[in-house]
């Protein structure tokens, strides 16, 4: 009874709010969909009318069910078309191979953004969808802030919006958080918050590159905004679209994130998908019990990579797993498993795994992950050490955070050998210091006074109650860059100091000239 009252008290403390009409926007899928699905369901459970705009046919969302939840929020689906989807699937499959070969690059990221901008153009041109959403008169929208199209759509609909970012505080697209380069790592720098002199120099260099990168990303969406926004693209570009958000919610938590300054309009809600584990199916329990106290390992490279398509890497992974005493659950598409490659007896292949329930099992010894934000937060929640194999995007920075916090170790996919894999697994499963760090991080994560789902609901309702988030946004968001950094004041002071010096120099020069002239006479 006490446990129930403990969780009910925050709900009772919330002010009574009339049901609001809320639109959630999911145009990518995969882990992004899982998060927005959870957010949409939680808002519905709290009495709001919620509709999700969901783009289907995206290869990122392959393997997920979009049937929705019974008696939960409503869904409006949209598809870009079968012909384009086939082309996009082919391109994306090739990208998976490039990731596994260690060939992630900013050019690939721009190509991905190019695809998103094309899809955005097609969506905004769909008059039926846009007209329907405009007629609904939503009180607020919750956007997937990774995709710039979400912001353009919100402007097109004329609806206020909350930006939900599915990753860490310092992603590839800036939102003007105070981020001192001396101790806050810039996206893709792969630095910790304790930097050497050269580390700070690298961080400064990456901070300049990030401004260029953001402008290149916006360039891929500018024409879309010009075509579909009556007022035209905002003069401030993507920065202005970001600054228009009533609130920014981030899928992160300081159990995993490096400490840094925040703004009033930012809230951390990492751990939305982490829950107490449910009992596993009987066949899985029987298989786990066959390994005794050795326990088992969970392997998944995320929703974007359904299987390893690089033969050499696959062979080394399988050979490495065959050398360890633990059982291995591996999320892998069975249809793509090479027929000539035998699976060791301690390996179970499934196209889907109940990840949260496996990590919460008392025999879970290690989690081998690509370093996705959701995966790492679930590992923290369940206090399971991790072996990170980063493939692309923010995963390289994520595993640096995990390793710095003592949650585990990292191996680059291009460096994997059977010997290195098996020895690293042995170290991670036997080192009590790593397990102790995992338990400590889990305590920090779980001891937050308000659970992440309720935290987000409270902030959404605060924005609805108060008529927007203008009171949370500092004036710096509307200042010109030279005003924000006091460059206009510095110029004024410089001229103020320089003026008397110039006058004095001019006077002295003229005086010397007159004195010389008198001597000549």
Q: For residue 428, what is the domain's CATH number?
A: 3.40.50.2000
Q: Does one domain contain both 225 and 169?
A: yes
Please check whether residue 515 lies inside any domain of the structure: no
Residues 6+ apart with CB under 8 A from 301: 308, 331, 369, 370, 389, 391
Residue 6 within a domain: no
332 plus 242 within the same structural domain: no
189 CB-contact burial (10 Å; exposed 0-12 / middle 13-18 / buried 19+) = buried
261 and 317: one domain? no
Contacts of 328 (CB under 8 A, 6+ apart): 296, 297, 299, 321, 346, 347, 348
Helix axes 197-228, 106-124, angle to 10 degrees: 20
Same domain, 220 and 147: yes
Query: For the chain, which ranges sit under pLDDT 70?
Result: 1-17, 58-68, 70, 303-304, 306, 510-521
342: burial class by Cβ within 10 Å (0-12, 13-18, 19+)?
Answer: exposed
**Per-residue pLDDT at 501:** 78
Per the domain annotation, does 4 fall within a domain?
A: no
Bridge partners for 297 per DSSP? 328, 366
- Judgement on whether residues 219 and 91 belong to the same structural domain of the protein: yes
The beta-carbon contacts of 97-101 under 8 Å, at least 24 apart in sequence, are 97/309, 97/310, 99/305, 99/391, 99/392, 99/413, 100/305, 100/308, 100/309, 100/310, 100/313, 100/391, 100/413, 101/310, 101/413, 101/414
Same domain, 66 and 205: yes
Q: Please, is 262 exposed, middle or buried when counting C-beta atoms within 10 Å of its C-beta (0-12, 13-18, 19+)?
A: middle
What was the pLDDT predicted at 11? 47
- pTM of this structure: 0.90
**Same domain (yes/no): 209, 349:** no
Q: What is the largest CA-CA distance in the chain?
A: 115
Of residues 398, 408, 365, the one with CA closest to residue 256 = 398
Are 258 and 287 in the same domain? no
- Among 384, 488, 499, 387, CA closest to 438: 384
In what helix (H) or strand (E) does residue 368 lie, and over which residues does it extend?
strand 364-369
Q: Is residue 512 part of a domain?
A: no
The confidence score (pLDDT) of residue 13 equals 46
**Does one domain contain both 230 and 82?**
yes
Q: Is residue 7 part of a domain?
A: no
- Identify whether residues 429 and 470 lie together within a single domain: no
Buried b (16+ CB within 10 A) or exposed e, 445-461: beebeebbbbbbbbbbb
Domain match, 42 and 159 both: yes
Q: Domain range spanning residue 192?
A: 16-273+450-478
486: left (phi over 0), alpha (psi -120 to 50) or beta: left
The domain tally of the chain equals 2
Residue 70 confidence (pLDDT): 65
Residue 490 domain-assigned? no
Is residue 60 assigned to a domain? yes
**76 and 172 assigned to the same domain:** yes
Q: Which of 490, 377, 504, 505 is nearest to 441 (CA)?
A: 377
Residue 96 lies in a domain: yes
């Amino acid at each position: 009874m006490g446990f129930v009252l403990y969780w009910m008290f925050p709900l009772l403390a919330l002010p009574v709010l009339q049901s609001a009409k809320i639109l959630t926007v999911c145009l990518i899928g995969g882990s992004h969909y899982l998060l927005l699905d959870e957010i949409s369901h939680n808002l519905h459970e709290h009495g709001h009318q919620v509709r999700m705009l969901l783009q289907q046919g995206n290869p990122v969302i392959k393997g997920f069910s979009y049937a929705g939840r019974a008696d939960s929020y409503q869904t409006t689906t949209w598809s870009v078309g079968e012909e384009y989807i086939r082309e996009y699937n082919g391109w994306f499959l090739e990208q998976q191979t490039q990731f596994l070969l260690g060939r992630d690059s900013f050019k690939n990221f721009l190509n991905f953004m190019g695809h998103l901008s094309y899809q955005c153009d097609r969506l905004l041109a769909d008059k039926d969808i846009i007209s329907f959403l405009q007629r609904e008169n939503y009180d607020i929208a919750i956007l997937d802030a990774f995709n710039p199209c979400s912001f353009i759509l919100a402007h097109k609909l004329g609806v206020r919006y909350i930006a939900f970012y599915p990753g860490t505080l310092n992603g590839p697209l800036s939102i003007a958080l105070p981020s001192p380069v001396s101790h806050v790592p810039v996206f893709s720098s792969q630095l910790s918050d304790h930097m050497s002199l050269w580390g700070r120099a690298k961080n400064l260099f990456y901070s300049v590159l990030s401004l260029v990168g953001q402008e290149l990303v916006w360039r891929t969406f500018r024409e879309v905004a010009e075509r579909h926004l009556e007022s035209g693209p905002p003069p401030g570009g993507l920065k202005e679209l970001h600054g228009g958000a009533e609130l920014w919610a981030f899928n992160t938590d300081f159990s995993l994130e490096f400490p840094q300054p925040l703004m009033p309009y930012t809230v951390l809600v990492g751990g939305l998908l982490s829950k107490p584990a449910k009992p596993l199916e009987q066949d899985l329990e029987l298989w786990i019990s066959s390994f005794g106290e050795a326990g088992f390992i969970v392997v998944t490279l995320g929703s974007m990579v359904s299987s390893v398509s690089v033969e050499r890497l696959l062979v080394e992974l399988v050979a490495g797993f065959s050398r360890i005493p633990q059982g291995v659950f591996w999320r892998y598409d069975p249809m793509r498993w090479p027929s000539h490659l035998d699976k060791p007896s301690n390996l179970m292949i499934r196209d889907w795994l109940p990840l949260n329930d496996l990590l919460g099992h008392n025999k879970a010894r290690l989690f081998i992950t690509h370093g996705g934000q959701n995966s790492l937060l679930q590992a923290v929640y369940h206090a399971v050490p991790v072996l990170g194999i980063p493939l692309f995007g923010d995963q390289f920075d994520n595993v640096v955070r995990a390793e710095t916090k003592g949650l585990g170790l990292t191996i680059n996919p291009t460096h994997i050998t059977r010997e290195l894999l098996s020895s690293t697994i042995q170290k991670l499963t036997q080192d009590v210091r790593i397990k102790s760090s995992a338990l400590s991080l889990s305590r920090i994560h779980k001891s937050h006074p308000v659970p992440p789902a309720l935290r987000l609901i409270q902030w959404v309702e605060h924005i609805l109650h108060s008529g927007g988030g203008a009171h949370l946004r500092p004036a710096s968001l509307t200042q010109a860059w030279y005003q924000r950094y006091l460059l206009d004041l510095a110029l004024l002071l410089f001229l103020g100091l320089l003026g008397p010096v110039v006058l004095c120099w001019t006077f002295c020069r003229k005086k010397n000239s007159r004195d010389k002239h008198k001597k000549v006479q």
